[in-house]
Each structure stands twice: as structure tokens, then as C-alpha cells.
A and B are shown apart, each in its own frame.
Chain A
Amino acid sequence: MLSRIAESLFWIGRYVERADGTARILDVHLERLNHLPLEEQQSVARDLLAVMGAKPQSDDFGLPELLHALAYDKASASSIAGSLGAARENARRARETVSQSLWESLNTTYYGLNQHRKDVVGTYRFCNWVLERTAMVRGLADTTVSHDESWLFMVLGRSLERADMTARMLSTRDVQSAGMSWVNMLRCAGAYESFIRTRRAAFGDQHAAEFLLLDRLFPRSIVYALRDADECLAKLDPSAQRVGFINDARRIVGQARTFLEFHRTDDLMSELPEHMERVQKAVTQASDAISRKYFNQADEHAWVGEVS
């Protein structure tokens, strides 16, 4: 398939998952934030934004600004509206490749972005709506697109972004350690029921973090997401080698995953920030390596004529 199209599909996967993750994080934190005194609210809002990878645009940064920056700002790639807009724009460029229903669901989602009240209450509903729409997009991608190369690129983007979003989700714990309970953290990832059923009585911060980080069966855990990414990469480039990996992306993703899986620790909580940074760095590097290998258009326009 065309490199340009592959790139679009990869980014559709990433942006949709990013919107989903951001909506989950925003939804959970909004409740806490709303109860805080104004001053604390402002500093927490700032920190939260920093965890999501953006900088506040003005000094006066409070709850309404946070909502704008994470939910409604169409110009920013780290907001929900911006991600969904970008996903739709990518789908528009790859429209003949994605299925009509996938395109249509992204397109109607895009047109639905404006139909929400932008206050705190409206944002709860907005987050919920985003979770529904992204679930629908994922479902349509899985059921109406052949699971060939094009789908693999989408899933690859989705898995990498998912690992990244779960890492950010765990990092937000630092932002308001006082209030962010492990219950909320699990709810945020939609993992509460799964966790309770597997761990039964063993709850607490440590176990919850472990679950989201290392569980081999829960699909939003970092280890699971990285394994998904690894599988996609292997299917995209099935060349078997006796020694090592030529494919940078596979090496990076595999290293990050095995480091987590084989790491032994007594105090996960204190190491958490470091782990999270490793995961996020690995995702960025892997994404770059994938671009280099599959999407490279560096030598585009060998000919640039004189302008007469």
C-alpha cells in the first residue's frame, strides 16, 4: 500500500486512542478538581496539562482553561477535539482505503464535536460521548476493514498510543496524590471490575499500579499494549532473523516491554515515575522508527524547477 496512506492509517489509530485516553483521564480528574479550593485547583490544572504533554498558553490557567486545552481546543493535538479532528482529516486523505462506515463514523464524530455545552457538567457528557464514539470507531475498524496491512498500521498506532496513554494516566497520580485513589485510577482505565475479579482482596495502590502496568490479560495495561504493537510489527515485517532485529521499532518496543516484565522490585510506587518516562520515551522512539522505515518521503520532489 502507499506509504502516505499507511501513515494516515497509523495516525488514525493513534489519534482515536488519544481522544479516548484523554477523555478517560479528564473525566476522572474533573470530579476531584471541582472540589479543590481555587488556588490549588489552578496549580493542579497546570500539572495535569503538563502530564498530558502541553504547556498552558497564559498565566491565568484554571479549570475552564484546562477544559478548553484538553477537551475543546481544535488547534491542539493533545486535546480531544484536536485529536478527533486530526483523525478525521487523516481518514479523509485515506478515504478510498478505509471502509465507508469507518470514514462515516469519524466524520459524524467530527461534526458532533460542537454540539456540547462547554462547562463542567457538559464536559462529563462530552467525555462519555467521546468514549462511545471512539469505541464505535474501533469496532468498525475491526469489523469492516480487512485485517491486512492497512488494519495492522491502524492497530499499531492504536497500541502504541494506548501504552502511552496508560502511562500518562498512571503519571497523573502524582499530580494529586492526596485525592487520586486507586479506585479512580482503575475506573479511569475501565479496569475496576477486571481488577477486583482477579485480585480479590489484595487491593491498594501498589496492586492497582501493577495491574495497569504489568497485567498480561488486561488490554489497556502497558505490557499488553506493547505486546500488541510488537505483534503488529512482526506481521508487517515477517522476515525471520537468526540474530537480533534489523527493525528498530521492534527492538525498541520489545525492549521496553521486557524491561517491565522482567523487572523485579520491592517498591513499585517509588519507581513508577521512572517507568512511565521510559514507556513514553520508547513510544516516541518507536513511532519515529516506524516513520523512517515505512512512511519515508524524504526524497520527495527530486525535481524542483526554477520558478519563471
Chain B
Amino acid sequence: MKLSISIVFSLLLVCTGAVGQKLFNVSGKVTDRNGNALEQVTIIVNGTAQGTRTDRNGRYKLKLSKGKHVLTASYMGYHPESKTLDLRRDTRLNFRLKEDAIALNSVEVYGKSLNQQIREGAFAVSALDIRSRASSLNNINDLVNRATGIKVRQDGGLGSDFDLSINGMSGNSVRYFVDGVPLDTKGSAVTLANLPISLIDRIEIYKGVVPASLGADALGGAVNLITSQKQNNYLDVSYGIGSFHTHQGDLNAQFTESRTGLIFRPTLGINYSKNDYMMKGVEVWDEESRKYLPQNRRRFHDDYFSALAQIEIGVTNKSWADAFFVSVSYSKEEKELQTGSVQSKVYGMAERKSDAWAVTARYRKRDFLTKKLQMNAFLSHTWDNSLTVDTAYRKYDWNGNYIVSSRNEITGRGRSMRHYKRPLTIARINLDYPLNKHHSFNLNYLLNRTGNDRYDEVDQDFEAANDILVKHVLGLSYHQALFNGKLENIFFLKDYINHLLVRQTDLYWQTGSENMAGTHTNNYFGGGASTRFTLIEPFSIKASYERSVRLPLARELLGNGTTVYANVALKPENSHNVNAGFFGTWRPAHRHTLSYEANGFMRYVDNYIQASVSEKEGLMQYENVPAVHIKGVEGEMRYDWDGRLQLSANISYQDARDQRKYKTDGKPSATYKKRVPNRPWIFGNAEAGYTFHNLFQESSFLRLDVSYEWVHWYFLTWEAYGARESKARIPAQHIVNATLTYSWKGGRYNFSLECSNLLDKLAYDNYKLQKPGRAFFAKFRLFIH
């Protein structure tokens, strides 16, 4: 109570003080060491809640009272710089920032990091800093899974299939981008689970309402991975080794050839694991008792290998281009399949392979054609091939033994080597035009053309087909920043055009291809708005709305050849997405920072595309569910002390209700308005971290992190039907992870040791698909710049 009174009193003092004193202008420019203007640099007045950000030209302006002030300029990837001034008149104060080897959490502590700025924008977004964790993180999904409202459901260990949901929307309603370009351009095998971590600087996760500039037809949201844009040469290389014979290696570097000015950016990421973790309580036949007995057995056919190699070459700061790069990348994935969609189906020979070549070009130019118009263009073509091998006539058990079977492992039919060739062409043009400092426009066009050429090397009866899916997404947005940035509004319109050419006809009763043969073109419109208003620095409100449309993915429409049937009759999803919430950052005392955020959301979805597991055959198919309504709330608190101690916690509640009034026979459905089964509906995370600076030697730090993940149990099937004691459940999860990171020589050398699932708890994200138990991972990272 005393504290509350003090807070209110302090706030009143600040407000009245501000009103009563004469204010002077403080303005200036922030540049890098080469004199280039830096945009979005945070300028804060130490010990107060005042601050601002630089504009496109690196300029800022503040109004401060007479007296002494300390201003700090901070920006991701640069050392923060503080300057003291004794203000007696309007003053000009410039900053020249030096690049930082590794952006520590100090960036977040002493100023608004870019992540915080993104979080405090008009969109509902989670912003995650990858760069500061690059030395310890071994899987981006691990971090994403701990964000508010996000749930990553994995089938198993490294490289296993996963589904990411945002505010309860299925993983395939979520679109992935790298710097605004679809991640698919790197090949279908490249995912959040295997992308080289050193390549990524930070992640923006948009919830429900997605900026038009991303060109996304995403219903549930979008994940935008922002790559590192360091200016100078560097080498970032790491190697990790962990339990279950896991090895990971990353390399990311930049080299500028001084004579020609050509910039070379090689990237390499390799992941390998045997995933031979212990499966607990699986059924093993005991001949003596003639019973299946629960036993612990190691996985024996779950090797995973992935590689991504990329070289990007280009130039910057030319008269004809601010940046122009071309790149070639190759990705490869080989995955042994241990089980079907439930672990009672044991495989011992089946495997999936894929590889992809991609060629891309990107171009950026300010003052393109006319002053202030910025052009961003991207073009890529990807040759994406995948193969599922199911040729063994064997039936395996959890002992690793097999009998010679009369049929293959996955489908129970004849031998199969199913090839999918999915050539992908992506073109993106983004035009950005700031009318003035208050108003700007953005026009974005995205073309996505996917082929689906499939054939079987062995099964002569398999009907080859070559379906083509073309999507055009056009987005126009208008951005307002009013009242000195206190009010931010964004309005946007999107147009989606879907063109489908279906040629496959096999399994027509399952895939619906008999009603959808030939070509189809459909046009859909969407749009929305978002707003943010800052009343006082510790308290802002924001709201956003989008009428979103999501065109089906190739995988959903055309299947994956193994565990996912095609369903070419799928319709686009559409939804009314609403977010509303409040947030703020409060610095009650020097070195103490408290941030909070609370949001409510609604997703009113029609033709929701949902994966239905057909357990009886171990296969899946995506289908349109007439409607699902999801409502939820989520909240997050973060506390920081002096850049040393960080505490955070979040909780998410999502309530998805079926809206199907009628069954397929036209009679009322029992599931109407019932909670949709087989999805997490309440979960939370907590994290604590402490950094010891200059431990053992100068320019070093030791950081300890502990995280806890909790998911409430949930039913596999509709909860109201069948005796509760007989119903299948996905059990609750209580997972504790701990990480120790030591960095020395100013971040040049880094070593981390992680223990995931410290308490060795049984964990399932999906029904009877056990995830790994306790695991250790050690990583060494060398960062030279």
C-alpha cells in the first residue's frame, strides 16, 4: 500500500514538475563511426521515463527542463553512448556510436531496445532477441516456445516435425519470413528448428494482425526473422555437442573486398542427431507371459541431418543501389522415421529426404525514381525436392527387431519411393514513401508460385501429377505518427489472388480431386487497422483488427506424400482478428526497470484449416472446419535490475470453441460451441537470469539462466463425451531448463552449457509422441570482428 501511494505521488510530482518548468529543445543526430545516419536509435534521459527514437535521417528531438541531464543513445549492435549536459538553452547533442561485438542485455536495460520498440508499436507482437543468446541457444524453437501466446508442439527430438501456434491458431496458419521474404525460399527443409542461429539477430512474432509489408496471407500471425546487418567484417563460428549424439555447427561471416567493394557473406549451418533418447513405457512383447509389457527402450531409427550453405555477394552504397546482393543456397535434410503419428506404430527403415537449391537477388534503393521513395525488391527461385522412402517389407518393434512383413511400413501397401518436386518462385516488391514525419505509405506485392510435381520410382501404379499453385498478395498500408509519436495509427488493405491447377486424381475420394480438377482462380480482400496511444510512458494502450485471409499451403492442399493426404478441395481460411491490450515500462528507481503487457484477443475463423489425425491409419489430412471462435487473454511481466538480474513470467489462456452447428448429415452437432480438443489452452513460462560481469577477467561475464515451462493437460478428443476416466489425455508438462554461459575477451570467446528438461519429466506435445527427457548441450562460439 505504501509503495502504491509512493508511486502515485511520484507520478504526480513528475507530471506537475513537467508542467511547471520551462522546457528547452535538445536535438541532434546519431551516426555510426562512418557517419551514416542510424534510424530508430533510442535516446533516453537517464533516471526518467523520457525518451525518443531517431528518424530516418538519424535525427531526434526532446524537450527537457533546465538542469543537468544524462542522455544515452542505444541501438542494437552498437555500444550505448551516454553524454551529460547542463541544459540552459536549446542545445544540439550528437552521438557517434561504435559497433558492439555482442549486444548484451545492457542494450535492453539502459534504453529501449529495438525489440522493445517493436513490442511497443501498434501491432500485437512478441519481439525476441536472438543475438544476445546466440552463444547459448541451440534451437530457435526453444526460445519461441517460451514467448507469450506461442506454443510449439514437437513430435520428438531434433528435426522432428513441429507445429507453431500463435494465440491458438494452428501452426500452418502462421507464415515464416526472413527479412520480410518467405522462409520457403531456402527450401522446405529449412525451419526455425534448424536455421543457423548466428544468422538471426532477432525475431518478430505478429499475432493475428500482420503488417501488409510482409505480404502474408497469414491467419494466425507471422514470424519474421531479422538477420544480422553488421556493417564490418566478422567471423562468427560455433560448435555444439549434446546428448543423444547431437552435433551442431554454425558459421556466419562477412568479408569486404576492399578493391572492388564486393561484400561476401558465407553462411553454413549443420545439425546432426541420432535422437536415441529413452522412450518410457513403450509396449514390448514378452513371450513368456504372452503380454505386451511397458518397458523403456531407446529410439533406434531417428537419425537426423540437416545442412544449409549459403553465399551472398553484393555491394552497398552505390549510386544505383543502396544494397544489391545475389545469393546461392543449398539445403539438405535427411530424416529417419521412427514412428507414425502415434508411437505404437514403430518404423525401422522408412525415411524422408529433401534438398533444395535456391538463387535469390535483392535490391534496395532510397530515392528510387523520386525523392524519399524507397524500393525493396526480391526475386528468388527454389528447386525443392523431397523423397519418402518406404520400401522395407518389415514390421519393427521397440526392441529394434523386425519380422519380414507382407507390406511396407508407412501405408501398409507396396514398396514406394515417392518424389515431390516443388519448384518455388517468389517475387516481392516493396515501395515505401514517407510523406512527412507524420505520414507514410507502403505498397507491397508478393508473388508465390509453387509446383507440385510428384511421381513414384517404384510404385508403377502411382499416378504422377503436376499441380501448380500461384498466389498473389498485394498490400497497401498508411502509417500515422501524431502528437509527437504518442499516437500511432496504421491502416492497411490486402488483396489475395489464388490460382490453382490440379492434375492429381488418385485417392480422389480422400483428396477431393474429383470435384476440383482443372484450373481455379479466386480473389479475396482483407484489411485492418492498428493503433497505439501512449498516455504516459509507463502506460500505453493498443488495439488492432484485421479481416484476414489465408490461402491454403501447398502441403495442406497437396499433401506430403507420406503422412499427410492431399485435400485439393480445401478453401481459404478467413477470420476477424481483434487484439486489445495495454503495456508499459516503469523505472521506479535507478537501475530498476519493470515492464508489463496484457492483451486480450479474439479470432473468429471461418473455414478453419485444421489437421485431423486419422489415428486408425496413422495418417493426417487437412480439412476445413466450418468455424472456430478463439478468445483468450495473455500477460507478461519483465523485471530488470542493473542489467544483471532479469526476471520474466507470462501466461496464456486460449479458448477455442467449435462453431459447427450441423453434422455432415444435416442434423445438429453435439460439438457445437464445445471446446476444440487436442490443443493446449492454458500455459505459461517463467525465466530468471543473472549476469556476473568481469568474473575471472576483464571484459567477461558469466550468465546463469533458468526457465520453467508449464502446459496444462488437455483432452485428445471432445471432452464432454465418454466417461472421463476412459478419455485419452495429453498430460501436463513441467519442464525446467538451465543454462550457464561464460563469455570472455569482449565476447570473442563464448562457452555455454545447457541442461534441458532438468527434472527428466515425461513430456508430450502430441498424443503418445514422447519428447526427449533430460539432455545436455555444450556449445563453444568464436566471434571475431
**Are A and B interaction partners?**
no
Hey, which bits of chain B sit against chain A, CB under 8 A? none
Hey, which bits of chain A sit against chain B, CB under 8 A? none
